[in-house]
Amino acid sequence: MESSNVSIPSALTFTSGFEGYNSSPSTLGAAKDQGDDGERAGILHSKEPHFSIFTVLVLTLLVLLIVATFLWNLLVLATILRVRAFHRVPHNLVASTAVSDVLVAALVMPLSLVSEVSAGKRWRLGRVLCHVWISFDVLCCTASIWNVAAIALDRYWTITRHIQYTLRTRSRASILMIVLTWALSALIAFAPLLFGWGEVYSAELQRCQVSQEPSYAVFSTCGAFYVPLGVVLFVYWKIYKAAKFRIGRRRVAVLPLPETVQAKEAPQEAQMVFTARHATLAFQAHGETWREQKEKRAALMVGILIGVFVLCWIPFFLTELITPLCSCSVPPIWKSIFLWLGYSNSFFNPLIYTAFNKNYNSAFKSLFTKQR
């Protein structure tokens, strides 16, 4: 976020985390003084890059994160495209999420990593690539976040409006949500270019960062995070209430029937009547329990998806909203941690929604078996 730093775009005022052109020393000891002006290097580099064992370890972990994020999301996307059973809701929403996360891993994270190890944290790749980098960062990260909100909305309508929310209605709603997700993300990403809302590239300072205009910071952080955050929290609260109400109603509906025949008067007949009723009740209870477990599993999946999304992104967006408004500074190391924590959400997304759907595991095995 500092004007003297090359920054990484990440949903709005996305700054690169391991800034090297900053007046504060690195807390991990990788930085050193750079001349009389007091410039200090970031944790991953100095004016003349110094790669310690810790630095190499961090770089290795980030490279592994990028590769794993790309491959896992690509696998999910390929499976959805090749398996006909997945050509429906909610898998099209999952596919939209996978597309955004693949682009984050393929275009955004690698350039962010390059900037982390660049001497002086200066942007040397020119104005055009700077605009491309920042635009795709904002576009893909925002789309990924809104896709999570779309999945939560679809699950909410499925549970609470299962009669009105028919397959046809669900399909139309999902397509509309996907279109709106990418349209809103594009508006937020390209607003500075379209409306002259601040400058993202400085040739003199060799700086590349998202517009630091306070008005754009509020607009973009709200549109990319705080609004979808409000949506997913409200939706999950409604899902929890609806699931709790339906489970309670089912338990009341399967109360045991009173015995109407005494064993002493007709032992054989009573035993038969009791057995038949007991079997019927057991069947109904078992059927309801299976439905309850299915709904609980779906609610748990959405809950974990939302929880991980919040934990990954809220530190970054709190920093990006507050910093331009108060003109305060955050240590570069924390900016980097918050930024890459947000990026890691693209890695966790496919793990979560495939872990709760056994069909994906079978499809993965089938996909690799056919290729062999």
Pairwise CA distance, residues 303 & 209, whole Å: 33
**What does pLDDT average to in each consecutive run of 10 residues of the chain (372 residues)?**
39 38 35 39 45 86 96 94 86 94 95 77 77 90 94 86 83 94 95 81 73 85 94 88 68 52 48 44 48 72 89 92 78 88 95 84 78 57
Pairwise CA distance, residues 343 & 348, whole Å: 10
pLDDT at 182: 97
- Asked whether the beta carbons of 261 and 275 are under 8 A apart, the reply is no
Neighbours of 359 (CB within 10 A): 13
Q: Which residue has the tokens 């790669």?
A: 51
pLDDT at 118: 73
- Asked whether the beta carbons of 221 and 138 are under 8 A apart, the reply is no
pLDDT at 249: 61
pLDDT at 256: 54
Distance of CA 220 to the CA centre of its chain: 17
> What would the two tokens of residue 79 be?
């499976």
Pairwise CA distance, residues 102 & 80, whole Å: 14
Q: Coil, helix or strand for 209? A: coil
Burial group, residue 257, by CB count within 10 angstroms (0-12, 13-18, 19+): exposed
Cβ density class 313-339: b for 16+ within 10 Å, e for less: bbbbbebbbebbeeeeebebbebbbbb
Neighbours of 61 (CB within 10 A): 11
Q: Coil, helix or strand for 114? A: helix
**Does domain 33-371 correspond to CATH entry 2.40.110.10?**
no
pTM: 0.74
